[in-house]
Amino acid sequence: MRERADQVRAYLDQNFHQDLDMNAVARAAALSPFYLTRIFKQRYGVPPYRYLIGLRIRHASELLRDSSLSVTQVCHRSGFNSLSHFITTFRHHIGMSPSQYRRMVDWQQDAGRYGQETEALMKQGRRRDI
């Protein structure tokens, strides 16, 4: 049964961006949905659906950080069908909305864009000519 759980995990890893139904995944693995959940949770510590959501949220975080795609595009490329479900789920897992996350990441990336000497000069303020 460990092999079946491993196969399901590999399938989820490769297909998380598609519309997946856990009942169909269980049928494809020749297991009942209840038994699939049981062996998957026993092997990996989380049910398969929660594992799938985690994959999608990690992928969405990467896209928000590393691309200029809109939040709606990130939603669909991460395997979510509903923008409202994506935003709610993202907020639940990350602690902020996708837009807030992107602004935070952008701000953090811009924070160190100047060298230490330039940063010190910028903090001094403007020089007054007399």
pLDDT per residue as tens digits for the range 87-130 = 999 999 999 999 999 999 888 877 665 556 665 655 665 555 54
Residue ranges of domains in the chain: 2-116
State which fold the 2-116 domain adopts.
Arc Repressor Mutant, subunit A (1.10.10)
pTM of this structure: 0.80
- Cβ atoms of 58 and 65 within 8 Å: the answer is no
Cα 79 from Cα 86, distance rounded (Å): 9
Q: In Å, how far from its chain's centre is CA 48?
A: 16
pLDDT per residue as tens digits for the range 75-84 = 999 999 999 9
